[in-house]
Amino acid sequence: MPELPEVEVTRLSFEARIRGATVLSASLGKPLRWPLGIATAQLQGQVVQAVRRRGKYLLIDLNEGLLLVHLGMSGSVVFADTLAEAGKHDHFDLLTTQGTLRLNDPRRFGAVVFAPSEADAIAQKLLGRLGVEPLGDGFDAATFYQALQQRKTAIKQVLLAGEVVVGVGNIYASEALFLAGIRPTTRANRLSRPRALRLKAAIRQVLALAVEKGGSTLRDFSNAQGESGHFQEGAMVYGRQGQPCRVCGTAIKGLRQGQRSTFFCPQCQKP
DNA sequence: CACGGATCCTGATGGC
DNA sequence: TGCCATCAGGATCCGT
């Protein structure tokens, strides 16, 4: 489910409410992708300093260390004063003086990991190889172009890999490539400088719009206040195979790249 | 080291 | 309360 916009929308929906809260207790359900890396009891008494985001990770800063939360494919978070008893897909609860943070994740591809600091090996294993933040100042066209020049893979897969630029998942990769007029199958190193520049702008535009729209709710995404996203209602290509392009009317095509579905307009997007 | 494929897990959906 | 195959927003690991 969650790509950068959903994670950012989630962060924005509870950061102010949880900041300054003291952890009363923590509990785990079924195993997630990785072990927590600390006994839950050791979180007790810690104070939440801030909630940041890096790529698709939520970083919950504590006075000593931080929690790295990843939503995987099907994860979502709620933060509320009182919550019902944990259900079968609720796998992490953080009870605080200001409310309970709960991770629900049916497929359990997500994770909650404690690291003593962001520089620690545990954190670096997860964050160390991540590419640049697409909505930050570090995302500049020259560096982006140069990075693409070194990859022979299809541009869509380069975006998904997250080593050049983070946060662009399966929905927004298709959407950004549409906006930039680039076929998803085009090899990254075949993109001209102007086209790379156009793609860079398209990525920023798509992700920023998606954050504004509250993310995409395809099936069950909701932010920490239980609100759905609405980006998907205006999607240009994602999930629209066979339907007319909103720009030129040509039927949207679908294909598979690396076991992921891709959508594009054969008229508007050039190889 | 860049690339492609298999893999983790559960649930929804559609064809038979 | 059928069964089976396929697909789903992610990312790592493992051969080549």
Strand B nucleotides, any atom under 7 Å from protein beta carbons: they are 2-12
pLDDT at A1: 61
Strand C nucleotides, any atom under 7 Å from protein beta carbons: they are 7-12
Residue that has been written with the tokens 């720009």 in this structure: A247
Mean pLDDT of A96-111: 97
Q: How many Cα atoms sit within 13 Å of A104 on the Cβ side?
A: 20
Question: Is residue A65 a part of any domain in this protein?
Answer: yes
Instruction: For residue A213, indicate whether it is catalytic.
Output: no
Residues A85 and A161 in one domain: no
> For A217-258, what is each residue's pLDDT tens digit?
988 889 999 999 999 999 999 999 999 999 999 999 999 999
Q: How far is the CA of A195 from the C1' of B8 (A)?
A: 36
Q: Which amino acid is at A167?
A: G
Q: Residue with CA nearest B6 C1'?
A: A259
Instruction: For residue A56, indicate whether it is catalytic.
Output: yes
pLDDT at A219: 84
pLDDT at A112: 98
Question: Is residue A130 a part of any domain in this protein?
Answer: no
> For A10-68, what is each residue's pLDDT tens digit?
999 999 999 999 999 999 999 999 999 999 999 999 999 999 999 999 999 999 999 99
pLDDT at A19: 98
Question: Is residue A52 a part of any domain in this protein?
Answer: yes
* A107 annotated as a binding-site residue: yes
pLDDT at A51: 98
Residues A218 and A177 in one domain: yes
Mean pLDDT of A97-111: 97
For A173, the domain range is 141-264
Domain tally for chain A? 2
pLDDT at A88: 94
∠ CA A89-A90-A95 to the nearest 5 degrees? 180
Q: How far is the CA of A24 from the C1' of B6 (A)?
A: 41
List the alpha helices (DSSP H) in chain A.
4-12, 15-18, 121-127, 141-149, 155-161, 170-180, 193-212
Nearest Cα to Cα of residue A199 among A257, A128, A270: A270
Q: How many CB atoms lie within 10 A of CB A233?
A: 9
Question: Is residue A133 a part of any domain in this protein?
Answer: no
pLDDT at A198 over 80: yes
> For A114-156, what is each residue's pLDDT tens digit?
999 999 999 999 999 999 999 999 999 999 999 999 999 999 9
Residue A171: which residues within 8 A CB-CB, separation 6 or more? Answer: A3, A216, A218, A231, A232, A235, A238
The rounded mean pLDDT for chain A is 96
> For A25-34, what is each residue's pLDDT tens digit?
999 999 999 9
* CATH code, A240: 1.10.8.50
Separation CA A138–CA A270 (nearest Å): 28
Q: How far is the CA of A109 from the C1' of B7 (A)?
A: 11
Residues A145 and A256 in one domain: yes
pLDDT at A220: 82
**A172 closest-nt by C1' vs CA:** C9
Question: Is residue A163 a part of any domain in this protein?
Answer: yes
**A160: burial class by Cβ within 10 Å (0-12, 13-18, 19+)?**
buried
Separation CA A265–CA A247 (nearest Å): 9
Q: How far is the CA of A199 from the C1' of C14 (A)?
A: 32
Residues A14 and A105 in one domain: yes
Instruction: For residue A156, indicate whether it is catalytic.
Output: no
Q: How many CB atoms lie within 10 A of CB A29?
A: 18
Write down the catalytic residue from A163, A227, A260, A266.
A260
Separation CA A98–CA A80 (nearest Å): 8
pLDDT at A131: 96
Instruction: For residue A3, indicate whether it is catalytic.
Output: yes
